[in-house]
Structure formats: C-alpha cells, structure tokens
Amino acid sequence: SESVIINEDGNLEIGGCDLVKLAQQYDTPLNILDEEHIRNKCRKYRRILEQYYPTTELAYAGKAFLSTTICKIVEEEGLFLDVVSEGELFTAVQAGFPGDKLLFHGNNKTSRELEYALDCNVGRIVVDSFLELELIEKLAQKKSTRVQIYFRVKPGIEAHTHKYILTGQEDSKFGFSLRQDDIMKAVNFAIKSSYIDLQGLHCHIGSQINESKPYRLAAKTMMELLISIQKIYNYSISELDLGGGMGIKYRSDDSKLDIDSLMNEISQLILDMAKDSKIELPKLIFEPGRSIIGEAGVMLYRVGVIKEIPGIRNYVSVDGGMSDNIRPALYGAEYSAVVANKANYPHNNSYTVVGKICESGDVLLQNIDLVDNLTPGDLLTVFSCGAYTYSMSSNYNRLPKPAVVLVNQGQADLIVRRESLEDVIQNDLIPERFRRN
C-alpha cells in the first residue's frame, strides 16, 4: 500500500495509524483497510477508462470485500456495485446503495433472490442460464415490469491463473456458450419478450490475471458476438461488460498488470471494431474487485509460539490462520509480511508462519524472511489482504471472525465488529428433550 510507512517509533503505520496502537485498541487478528488507497484506486481506474473510451462505467465487485461502509465509499466514488447473492444485495440495500447502480450476478440465483432483486429495482441482472431467463420473465410479468438484463457469456478463453478461479473457458459452470443453440437462442428469447430488456453482454475470464492477452481475446470475441447480434437480429446491444480479474501484487517479485496499457489496448480494439462494422459504440464496463481493495488491506496477527525444529524449519504460530485467510491453503497463494513493531530491523531469517487451526495445512506463509529476534507478542503484518480475505473467512474451529478497521489520515474506525464468543454460538439451539432433568 502506498501509505505504509515506518514511523519514528520504528513501527509500521498505515493511513497515519500506528499498527502497534491499533493492535492494542482493537486486538488481533485484525483486518485493516486504508480508505485513501481504496478511493485512489477507484479514481485512477475511472480516469484511465475515461481517457481512452467515451462511455464507460465501473462496478466494484463486492465479493472481494463487502460491508455497509464499503458500500458508502463505492457510492461516494460514483461506482456501480456488483453483488452475487441475497446477502450482498441486502448489505447494499441496508447501506442505502441505489438499486439502479447494482449488477446482480450468479450462476444459480434462486427465485427468492430474483424476486428480491426485482423488489429492490436492481439495475441489471446478469442472466446466466435459460432457467433463470424464464424465471425472470415470469416474475417480471407478475409484477408488470420490464427487467434490464445482461447475458453472461463464456468466451472460450483460458487465462493463466489458478484453475479454481478460471471462469471463461467452455468447460465452466458460468454463462452461456457461444454456440448458436445457446447464446443466440437466449438472445432471441430476450428480444421477443415484452418483459425483458436485453441491455448488454458480459464475460469474466478469471481472477488474478497478470497479462493483457486474454482480455484482448475476450474483448474481440465479445465484439464479434455483438456485431453478429446486430446483423442477425438488427438489435443493438448497448453495453459491454468485460468483468474483473485484474491481478495485483502479493509479493515484490510478482508481475503486475498495467491497467493503463490494458485499458488503452481494449478501448482501441473495441473502437476499431465498432467503426469497421458500423455498429453503435457500446458502453464499456469493468468489474474490478481485487485490484481496487486488495492492496489497500493488511492482516495484523500476534505472534505466539515459536518452535525451532533444528535443521528443518522455524515454525511461528499466529493468533489467526486459515479461518481468516483461506487463500494460502486453498490456492497456494503467497504473501509478503513484515514485523510491525520491528519494522526497522533486517528481515533475513527464514520462518514458516502457521495459524492456530487444527490442521497441518494451516500455513499462512511458507519460508518467509522475518527478523531474527522474533519474540512471542510481536505483531506480524501480512500485506495485500484487502480482497478475498475477510470475505472468505469462516468460523472453523469456532474461531470468532476478526474485526475490520478503516484507517484514514490518522483516524481509525471500526467498520466490522469482532465476533464475540456469543456470536459464535448465537445460532445454536438445544432441543427441548435435552433440557429435561
């Protein structure tokens, strides 16, 4: 994060807040988000897009991290919000987020979710299947309203990323296939329907992508589809949403996607194709999640037991683990870390940082260089934990979920309360028959 510094006390400071003090005040494990960093990312994205393309919109992908306060920031920055479930939709509604700026995604939306989306006047529903399409038509008919939709399409592209987060290939549960009997059949249905407004086409090729080529291929494929819909049905699709997935830096040697040149390339390609085929220029939309909030966040842990296994490794246990960050265990994701209260000391002694979950696979950082005088009670800061960390957290081993604090110019505000032990058992019920005697 750009606002991470080492202060006079030799402690790490983010958004003007000393991490050692934050740990004292809010306890650990703690997820800390830098508000300025998030806002700067939103603004930079918009500036870049507007520079290369005449009509654009940005949507923040809430799955990366969502809370009512984040909805407020996203709204203030003028972004749309992409939600994928009733829970995310409810969060947006509770925060007073405007319904017309919501995009509703999901490969298996329930009819209750769809009905709720219509009640909330969700701006765009990204339709993923025929079943959903028919359901939306029925619901819209019942409510005598017209629903604006996108179709999610799988453009048949393989980006280089972890297979669990690949989504654009033909063998995927998401979206319609490019085959005539699939997407074109859906398009035909939508155009004929009096209750459905086909506004746009959408694709999302995967996540943590660090090269521009798959995006170019996706943009080209989607434009070809848009052009053939114009030719075959004389129907003009007015919006093209190319999803999110832009990769970020987790470690200093990670390559990082250059958003500026990516947007330049894609914009040029679309402008050229629209001109050549004389179709109306579609509005261009992106849905970044990770690249807006990922690098804005850190996880702060307290060091506990340190076990030296001579000639093998040094295990450092922290007070969280795979329950608050599943990404290392699930994807083999790698992170960088610094000891917050010893930030000035050289980090050149190798450790394996593990969590407190009862599994050997609960490794947060494999062979990471930290200070050689590491001591129980030290504070470990893991970087790039703004996205897919808290949002993927669980209560495994009945660990309460951490608190989330928003920092900005020396001010810290709690935006998600730490779960209490009462919270952990709040849904447990004891049937009457266990209460006798």
Q: Could you say whether residue 285 binds ligand LLP (CB under 6 A)?
A: no
| Smaller CB separation from ligand LLP, 337 or 370 | 337
The answer to whether residues 432 and 420 touch, using CB atoms and an 8 Å cutoff, is: no
Distance CA 70, CA 87 (A): 14
Q: Could you say whether residue 207 binds ligand LLP (CB under 6 A)?
A: yes
Residue listed under structure tokens 């220029």: 281
79: helix, strand or coil: coil
Q: Could you say whether residue 64 binds ligand LLP (CB under 6 A)?
A: yes
Instruction: Work out how close the CB of 212 gets to ligand LLP at its nearest, in angstroms, rounded to a whole number.
Output: 15
Q: Is 216 known to sit in a ligand binding site? A: no
List the x/- string, 14-53, binding to ligand LLP by CB under 6 A.
----------------------------------------
| Smaller CB separation from ligand LLP, 271 or 329 | 329
Instruction: Work out how close the CB of 293 gets to ligand LLP at its nearest, in angstroms, rounded to a whole number.
Output: 8
Residues 6+ apart with CB under 8 A from 408: 15, 16, 34, 35, 36
Residue burial 395-406, b: 16+ Cβ < 10 Å; e: rest: ebeebbbbbbbb
Of 6-14, 244-252, 358-366, 412-420, the segment contacting ligand LLP by CB under 6 A is 244-252
Q: Could you say whether residue 61 binds ligand LLP (CB under 6 A)?
A: yes
List the x/- string, 388-417, binding to ligand LLP by CB under 6 A.
x-----------------------------
Residues identified as active-site = 358
Q: At what angle do helices 68-76 and 35-52 cross, to 10 degrees?
A: 40
Which contiguous run of DSSP H or E holds residue 407?
strand 403-408
Q: Could you say whether residue 291 binds ligand LLP (CB under 6 A)?
A: yes
Distance CA 283, CA 66 (A): 26
Distance CA 320, CA 329 (A): 13
Which contiguous run of DSSP H or E holds residue 228?
helix 213-233
Per CB under 6 A, residues contacting ligand LLP are: 61, 63-64, 82, 105, 165, 204, 207-208, 243-246, 287-291, 327, 331, 387-388
Known binding residues for substrate are: 290, 327, 331, 359, 388
